[in-house]
Chains A and B, each alone.
Chain A
Amino acid sequence: MGKEELREELLKQLHEGVVEFEEDKVREAAQRVLDEGLNAYDAVMNGLAAGMQEVGDLYDQQEYFVPELLMCADALYVGLDILKPHISLEDLGDKPKGQVVIGTVQGDVHDIGKNIIKMMFEVAGFTVHDLGRDVPLEKFVEEQLRTDSEIVALSAMMTTTMMGMEKVIKMIKEKNPNVAIMLGGAPVTSDTATLFGADGYADSAGNAVQEAIKMIGRLREMQAKWTDN
Chain B
Amino acid sequence: MTMTSKERVKAFFNREPVDQAPCFSGMGTVTVQAINKMGIRFAQVHGSAGYLAGSAIASAEMFGFDGIVVPYDMCTVPEALGRGASLYENADGILYPTVPSKWATLDDVDLPEDYRSIFDQGRMPVVDEAIKITKAHEGGKLAVGGWVLGPFTMAGQLIELDVLLKGLRKDKDRVEAFLSKMTDLVIAVAQHYQDLGVDYMNIREMGSGTDLISPRMWKALIKPNLEKVFSALESPKINHICGSTDLIIEMMNDCGADAVSVDQKNHVAESRQKLGPDAMILGNFDPYGTLVQKDAGEVAEVIKKCVDDGVDAVWPGCDIWPDVKRENVEAYVKAVREYGKK
Q: 30 interchain pairs (CB within 8 A)? A: A62-B214, A62-B247, A65-B217, A66-B211, A66-B213, A67-B212, A67-B213, A68-B169, A70-B162, A71-B169, A107-B88, A107-B91, A107-B96, A109-B98, A109-B99, A109-B100, A112-B161, A112-B165, A115-B162, A134-B100, A159-B288, A159-B321, A160-B94, A161-B95, A161-B96, A163-B323, A167-B92, A187-B288, A206-B211, A206-B244
Q: How many B residues face the partner with a CB closer than 8 A? A: 33
Give the interface size class of chain A: 20 to 34
Chain B, range 76-97, C-beta contacts under 8 Å to A: 86, 88, 91-96
Query: Quick check: is A181 within 8 A (CB to CB) of the other chain?
Result: no
Residues A65 and B321 in contact, CB atoms below 8 Å apart: no
Residue A108 interfacial (CB < 8 Å)? yes
Residues of B at the A interface (CB closer than 8 Å) are 86, 88, 91-96, 98-100, 102, 161-162, 165-166, 168-170, 210-214, 217, 243-244, 247, 288, 318-319, 321, 323
Contact in complex: B161, A65 (CB < 8 Å): no
Is residue A106 contacting chain B, with contact meaning CB distance below 8 A? yes
Report A8-49 residues with CB < 8 Å from chain B CB: none
Is A74 close to B, CB under 8 A?
Answer: yes
A71 and B247 CA atoms in complex are apart in Å by 23
Residue in A62, A70, A134 whose beta carbon sits within 8 Å of that of B86 in the complex: A134
Q: When A62-B214, A187-B288 are in contact, do A160 and B96 touch as well, CB less than 8 Å?
A: yes
Give the residue name and chain of the B residue nearest to A191 (CB). B293
Collect the chain B residues with CB atoms within 8 Å of residue A158's CB. 96
Contact with A67, one of B96, B169, B247, B319 (Cβ below 8 angstroms): B169
List A residues 88-133 near B (Cβ within 8 Å): 106-110, 112, 115
Give Cα distance in the complex from A134 to B95, angstroms: 11
For A67, what are the chain B residues with a Cβ–Cβ distance below 8 Å?
A: 165-166, 168-169, 212-213, 217
A160-B321 in contact (CB<8A): yes
Question: Measured between C-beta atoms, what is the minimum distance from B57 to chain A in Å?
Answer: 22
Q: What is the predominant secondary structure among interface residues of chain B facing chain A?
A: loop
A residues near B (Cβ < 8 Å) are 62, 65-68, 70-71, 74, 106-110, 112, 115, 134, 136, 158-161, 163-164, 167, 187, 204-206
Question: Within 8 Å CB of B94, what residues of A?
Answer: 160, 163
| Cβ–Cβ contact B161 & A110, under 8 A | yes
In angstroms, how far is the closest chain A Cβ from the Cβ of B320?
A: 10
Closest chain B residue to A65 by CB distance?
A: B214
Which 5 residue pairs spanning A and B have beta carbons closest together? A107-B95, A206-B211, A67-B165, A159-B288, A65-B214
Report the nearest A residue to B215, measured CB to CB.
A62
- Asked if B95 and A65 sit within 8 Å, CB to CB, the answer is no
Which residue of chain A lies nearest to B90 when distances are taken between CB atoms in the complex? A136
In the docked arrangement, what's the CA distance between A136 and B244, Å? 30
Residues of chain A within 8 A of B100, CB atoms compared: 109, 134
B161 touches A106 (CB 8 A): no
Known A106-B95, A107-B88; further 7 A-B contacts with Cβ < 8 A: A62-B247, A107-B91, A109-B99, A160-B95, A163-B323, A167-B92, A205-B212
Complex contacts, B217 vs chain A, CB 8 Å: 65, 67
- CB of B166 within 8 A of CB of A65, answer no
- Across-interface contacts of A107 in B (CB, < 8 A): 88, 91, 95-96, 98
